């Protein structure tokens, strides 16, 4: 039977790999291995066997029944021997039918699975479309709220910008007034400084005059002291003379004349001393108003210096206030720039929101059409 095991198809072009894969499940392991020996005719075409040609007796290696060459021209994978062996047309057709049936069942199952998946996808798509419609509605509400909020913010920003501009104008007018006041204060300071300089020069002259008066007073005091010393000496001389007069009552006329001269001299000295005292008193009287004038001018000078100091402090405060107003003006300018940038940004956001709303409105009919197509 080796020739049977090596039989081939007539055309020789059948793919043995596919045939082997198809026929492996047709094999019946419980079949009688010697059943073909009892067969007198072909189990497929029921023709009697011949000794030669295609009518020669063979047997199928799957059902083990006798077959002729014409009815066993195919091969299949025999699992028991694990080789490509002769198979009758009945087993071959049954294998093909089983394979077609199996393929059909698998294809049918696959189609059912795909149908279920399509239905699930349709349901999911419907659900997603409903969700998208709800999200679109929510987006429209949000867009409307954003538009209202942007309109409100734009109004607030415009009001703030107008208020800031008014504040800037008021600050500029205040700054101009402060500059004018500052110029007036500077002019007053210059005038007061010139007056202070003149008063200082006058005070310097008064000080010099006082110094001269002090020197004169000192000289007068020294003269008075010397005169008093001389008066003491004269008094001592008088005492001596009086003692001499007591001792010499009988002196001559020369002594009397000398006494008269001494008395005259004493009288003159007393008069000179009185005049010196009067001069001293006059000098003291003249010195008192000079001292009072000096004290008054010193107090005026101190008051002027205090006023100058206050004026300088006021100027400093005014300068600081002007500087603060300038800084505030600059800060408000920066705030206006920032608010303007914010308004521009809000306008851009408004444009983006409008663009998004238009895109959303265009997307909605497309989504509905897509849903409709899928459902159909």
Between residues 234 and 1, the one the model is more confident about: 234
- Which pLDDT value is given to residue 166? 86
Q: Work out the average pLDDT over 368-372.
A: 44
pLDDT at 252 over 80: no
Q: Work out the average pLDDT over 239-265.
A: 75
Q: DSSP character for 47?
A: P
- Which pLDDT value is given to residue 319? 82
Between residues 90 and 235, the one the model is more confident about: 90
CA distance 315 to 318: 5
For 334-344, the pLDDT digits (tens) are 888 888 787 78
For 148-184, the pLDDT digits (tens) are 888 888 888 888 888 888 888 888 888 888 888 888 8
pTM higher than 0.85: no
Residue 173's CB is within 10 A of a number of other CB atoms, namely: 10
pLDDT at 75 over 70: yes
For 118-150, the pLDDT digits (tens) are 999 999 988 888 988 998 989 989 898 888 888
Name the band, by pLDDT with cuts 50, 70 and 90, for residue 110: very high
pLDDT at 278 over 90: no
pLDDT at 114 over 80: yes
Name the band, by pLDDT with cuts 50, 70 and 90, for residue 10: very low
Name the band, by pLDDT with cuts 50, 70 and 90, for residue 113: very high
| 3-state secondary structure (DSSP) of residue 259 | helix
Q: DSSP character for 6?
A: T
Name the band, by pLDDT with cuts 50, 70 and 90, for residue 7: very low
- Which pLDDT value is given to residue 309? 83
- Calculate the alpha carbon distances from 192 to 53, 185, 198, 318 in Å: 152, 10, 10, 18
- Which pLDDT value is given to residue 112? 92
- Which pLDDT value is given to residue 356? 61
CA distance 57 to 70: 10
CB within 8 A of 60, min separation 6: which ones? 36, 43, 67, 72, 86, 87, 88, 90, 91
Q: Residue 35 in contact with residue 100, Cβ under 8 Å?
A: no
**Token pair recorded at residue 350:** 């408004």
pLDDT at 296 over 80: yes
């Amino acid at each position: 039977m080796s020739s049977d095991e090596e039989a081939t198809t007539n055309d020789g072009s059948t793919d043995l790999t596919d045939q082997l894969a198809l026929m492996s499940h047709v094999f019946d392991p419980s079949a009688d291995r010697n059943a073909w020996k009892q067969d007198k005719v072909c189990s497929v075409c029921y023709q009697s066997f011949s000794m030669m040609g295609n009518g020669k007796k063979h047997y199928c290696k799957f059902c083990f029944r006798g077959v002729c060459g014409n009815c066993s021209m195919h091969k299949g994978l025999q699992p028991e021997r694990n080789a490509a062996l002769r198979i009758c047309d009945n087993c071959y057709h049954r294998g093909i039918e089983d394979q077609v049936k199996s393929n059909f069942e698998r294809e049918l199952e696959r189609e059912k699975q795909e149908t279920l998946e399509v239905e699930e996808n349709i349901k999911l798509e419907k659900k997603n479309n409903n969700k998208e419609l709800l999200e679109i509605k929510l987006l429209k509400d949000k867009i409307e709220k954003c538009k209202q909020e942007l309109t409100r913010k734009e109004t607030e920003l415009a009001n703030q910008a107008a208020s800031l501009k008014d504040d800037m104008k008021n600050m500029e007018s205040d700054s101009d007034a402060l500059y004018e006041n500052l110029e007036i204060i500077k002019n007053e300071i210059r005038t007061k400084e010139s007056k202070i300089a003149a008063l200082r020069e006058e005070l310097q002259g008064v000080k010099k005059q006082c110094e001269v008066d002090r020197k004169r007073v000192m000289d007068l005091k020294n003269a008075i002291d010397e005169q008093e010393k001389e008066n003491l000496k004269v008094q001592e001389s008088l005492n001596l003379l009086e003692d001499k007069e007591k001792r010499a009552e009988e002196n001559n006329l020369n002594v009397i004349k000398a006494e008269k001269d001494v008395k005259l001299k004493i009288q003159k000295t007393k008069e000179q001393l009185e005049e010196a005292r009067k001069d001293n008193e006059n000098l003291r009287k003249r010195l008192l108003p000079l001292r009072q004038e000096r004290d008054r001018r010193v107090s005026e000078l101190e008051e002027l210096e205090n006023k100058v100091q206050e004026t300088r402090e006021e100027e400093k405060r005014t300068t600081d206030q002007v500087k603060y107003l300038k800084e505030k003006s600059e800060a408000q300018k920066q705030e206006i720039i920032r608010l303007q940038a914010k308004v521009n940004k809000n306008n851009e956001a408004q444009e983006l929101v409008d663009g998004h709303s238009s895109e959303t409105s265009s997307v909605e009919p497309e989504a509905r059409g897509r849903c409709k197509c899928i459902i159909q």
